Amino acid sequence: MNQNQTSRYIKYAIGEIILVVIGILIALSINNWNEDRKARQQEIKLVSQLLEDAKNDSIFYQSRLLLFNGQISTYRLLLNQCDGRMESNDTITLRNETSPFTMAADQSIVMSNKIDYNDISDEAIKRRLRDYALSYTYITKAISNHSNLISSEIRNLAKSRNLDFGNNEAKLTEFSVICDIPNIQGVLRLCLGYSQNAQEQAERFIANNEALIVSCNDFFNN
């Protein structure tokens, strides 16, 4: 009799232990599910912000590319004019993005945003962000090189020749007065080279920007 009661008690105790373990496992599973859900919601929020920032960067750097393309054309015109390969042409108007010696602004909302995008777990996005950061380093350096050249070599010359770089509709002939400056062709070639480098780096950055946008969209479609 006592042996049967002991046996039933042991079975009951084991059953209680099993129920407690099952309860703990269920609680842990629910807690993990809640944590995963919160992490997913946070990641969705981060990727949404990243996508918006990348789209804004795209608009900005498309305008930088337009500026560099215009400056390259203008530097070539000025070189041809100073080298005597073309006559002064007062019909060529330099507007905005074709104005030479403009120091381009440089900014990336993605790179300057204080949000820690490193918390995103999606591997494709993480790879794109690494490429993005590298190409941003290159475009920043390219723009800085051109701006430093303009600041150190051109600005004082402009003042001495009363050239207005803020004029949105300057004639090419207005800049022809710089052709009598010693070694101006060398400076113009440097400007051209730096603008070409900035153009190449802008194209690279835009390509990485487009790839990042695709990866963000894929994140939401999967």
94 beta partners: 170
Quote the Cα angle for 50-52-53, to 5°: 65
Residue 166: pLDDT over 60: no
Model confidence pLDDT, tens digit, residues 104-163: 778 899 998 867 787 888 999 999 999 999 999 999 999 999 888 887 777 667 666 666
**Residue 202 confidence (pLDDT):** 95
Amino acid found at 155: R
State the SS3 of 123-171. Answer: HHHHHHHHHHHHHHHHHHHHHHHHHHHHHHHHHHHHHHCCCCCCCCEEE
Q: Do the beta carbons of residue 115 and residue 46 sit within 8 Å?
A: yes
How many C-beta neighbours within 10 Å does residue 10 have?
A: 10
Q: Per residue in 43-94, pLDDT tens?
A: 899 999 999 999 999 999 999 998 899 889 888 888 888 877 656 555 566 6
Alpha-carbon torsion angle 26, 30, 31, 37, nearest 10: 160
What's the pTM value of the predicted model, to 2 decimals? 0.77
Mean per-residue pLDDT for 5-20?
A: 71
Q: Where are the alpha helices (DSSP H) in the chain?
A: 2-82, 109-112, 123-149, 155-160, 172-175, 184-221
List residues bridging with 95 in a β-sheet. Answer: 169
